[in-house]
């Protein structure tokens, strides 16, 4: 950077030229900021402001208070439960698989294969994913049929239903696990083999190595990525919509229905619903970014 010339140097050369150059620099990012304001900031801000207004534009907290009505609380609660369950299970399973492929001493071709596949699977979300699970574990799905035919075991008579809470979690896991694998792989790479060797030769058992070194080092990434998975699931709608139509009362489907047909008959309550979502996904993302920065502090 030779940009920051001293004032003397500026005045001894052409000061006007230097000044105009500084302002030109800022012009370079104007299109980006204009775009971000128009299609990212303004729409969000509009909803956030609207959440605190009544239908004629006066300030009110009634919309926020109205979020406490049972059906909305239930929708948030189911969304949080689905997101948390799929994030925690997906995080744990994804971590185990990634660790097995990277540090488990398996042949070298497994890792790139797994990474490519995870890239695909993490993007294979939405309606097609719902179709895939219907074809697998739906009432006429292949696995359901095989279990009935060969094991005489009908999962639908034993409490399982794909169009339920656990069915949705099981489906979400498809992209949650793969996202976890993708994000955790670099962190697992960051676990140096020498740390384990140094711990071992100092007398530590495998358990002590995990307890004192590996888990504390990976902790921020593990927790942070799980939070990211949570936000990821919380904002998702297409998979759930493709799977259950509008029968499952999660908050994204509720908002979807509200936007389409205004089922709440209250525009500003819809804004509050959106605000609630932003707060939840925002909080988990901020926590993710903070934890990420913490974990990168050690990556040296």
Partner 1 sequence: MKRAKIGPWIALFLGTLYFIVPLIATFEFSLRMRRGEYSFDAYAVVLADARFQATFGYSTALAFATIVVGVLLVVPTAYWVNLRLPKLRPVIEFITLLPLVIPAIVLVFGYLRIYNSESWLPMTSSERLTDLLLTFGYVTLALPYMYRAVDNGLRAIDVRTLTEAAQSLGAGWPTILFRVILPNVRVAVLSGAFLTFAIVIGEFTLAALLDRPAFGPYLQLIGANRAYEPSALAIIAFGVTWACMGLINVVGRASHGQTPKAP
Partner 2 sequence: MAFLEIEHLRKSFGTLNVVEDFDLAVARGEFISFLGPSGCGKTTTLRMVAGFETPSAGAIRIDGKDVTEAKPNQRNVGMVFQSYALFPNMTIADNVGFGLRVAGRPAAEIKSRVEEMLALIKLPQLGGRYPYQLSGGQQQRVALARALAVKPKLLLLDEPLSALDAKIRVSLRQEIRQIQRELGITAIYVTHDQEEALSISDRIVVMSQGRMEQVGTPFEIYNYPRTRFVASFVGTLNVLKAQVVDVSGKLTVDGQPVATAAHLDGTRPGEIRSVALRPEAVSLADADGESNRLHGTVEEVSFLGSVVRIRVRFGENAVSLDTFNKPSVPPPDRGTKVTVSFARDALLLLDGDAT
* Near partner 2 in 195-214, by CB under 8 A: 195, 197-205, 208, 212-213
Cβ closer to partner 1: 47 or 214? Answer: 47
User: At closest approach, how far in Å is the CB of 212 from partner 2?
Assistant: 7
Cβ closer to partner 1: 45 or 65? Answer: 45
The candidate with the shortest Cα–Cα distance to 141, out of 153, 127, 131, 128, is 131
- State the binding partner of 164 from partner 1, partner 2, none, CB within 5 to 8 A by kind: none
290 is an interface residue for partner 2 by CB under 8 A? no
Cβ closer to partner 1: 23 or 58? Answer: 23
Angle subtended at Cα 87 by Cα 179 and Cα 167, rounded to the nearest 5 degrees: 100
Cβ closer to partner 2: 62 or 196? Answer: 196
Cβ closer to partner 2: 34 or 215? Answer: 215
216 is an interface residue for partner 2 by CB under 8 A? yes
Burial class (CB in 10 A: 0-12, 13-18, 19+), 238: middle
57 is an interface residue for partner 2 by CB under 8 A? no
User: At closest approach, how far in Å is the CB of 70 from partner 1?
Assistant: 22
Cβ closer to partner 1: 77 or 99? Answer: 99
Q: What is the C-alpha separation between 204 and 131, in angstroms, rounded?
A: 49
CA distances from 3 to 12, 16, 76, 137 (A): 15, 15, 51, 62
Q: What is the DSSP string of 147-165?
A: HHHHH---GGGGT--TTSH
Angle subtended at Cα 142 by Cα 141 and Cα 146, rounded to the nearest 5 degrees: 120
User: At closest approach, how far in Å is the CB of 237 from partner 1?
Assistant: 5
Residues with Cβ within 8 Å of residue 200, at least 6 apart in sequence: 209
124 is an interface residue for partner 2 by CB under 8 A? no
Instruction: Lay out the site mask for partner 2 across 163-202 (x = CB under 8 A, - = otherwise).
Output: -----------------------------x-xx-xxxxxx
CB 295 within 8 A of CB 187: yes
- State the binding partner of 47 from partner 1, partner 2, none, CB within 5 to 8 A by kind: partner 1
Residues with Cβ within 8 Å of residue 40, at least 6 apart in sequence: none
User: At closest approach, how far in Å is the CB of 10 from partner 1?
Assistant: 17
Residues with Cβ within 8 Å of residue 101, at least 6 apart in sequence: 110, 111, 114, 181
217 is an interface residue for partner 2 by CB under 8 A? yes
Residues in contact with partner 2 by CB under 8 A are 192, 194-195, 197-205, 208, 212-213, 216-217, 297-298, 300
């Amino acid at each position: 950077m030779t940009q920051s010339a001293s004032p003397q140097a500026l005045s001894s050369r052409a000061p006007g030229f230097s000044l105009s150059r500084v302002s030109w620099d800022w012009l370079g990012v104007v299109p980006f900021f204009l775009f971000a304001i128009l299609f990212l900031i303004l729409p969000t801000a509009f909803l956030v402001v609207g959440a605190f207004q009544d239908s004629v534009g006066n300030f009110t907290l009634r919309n926020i208070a109205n979020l406490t009505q049972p059906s909305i609380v239930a929708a948030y609660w189911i969304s949080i439960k689905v997101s948390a369950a799929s994030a925690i299970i997906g995080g744990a399973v994804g971590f185990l698989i990634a660790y097995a492929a990277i540090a488990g001493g398996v042949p070298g071709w497994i890792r790139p294969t797994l990474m490519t596949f995870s890239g695909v699977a993490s993007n294979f979300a939405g309606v097609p994913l719902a179709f895939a699970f219907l074809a697998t574990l739906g009432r006429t799905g292949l696995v359901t049929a095989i279990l009935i035919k060969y094991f005489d075991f009908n999962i639908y008579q034993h409490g399982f239903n794909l169009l339920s809470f656990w069915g949705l979690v099981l489906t979400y896991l498809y992209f949650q696990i793969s996202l976890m694998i993708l994000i955790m792989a670099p962190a697992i790479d960051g676990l140096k083999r020498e740390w384990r060797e140094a711990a071992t030769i100092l007398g530590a058992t495998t358990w002590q190595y995990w307890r004192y070194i590996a888990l504390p080092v990976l902790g921020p990434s593990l927790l942070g990525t799980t939070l990211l998975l949570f936000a990821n699931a919380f904002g998702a709608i297409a998979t759930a919509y493709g799977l259950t139509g509008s029968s499952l009362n999660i908050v994204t489907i509720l908002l979807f229905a509200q936007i389409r047909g205004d089922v709440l008959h209250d525009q500003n309550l819809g804004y509050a619903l959106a605000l609630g979502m932003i707060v939840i996904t925002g909080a988990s993302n901020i926590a993710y970014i903070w934890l990420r920065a913490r974990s990168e502090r050690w990556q040296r």
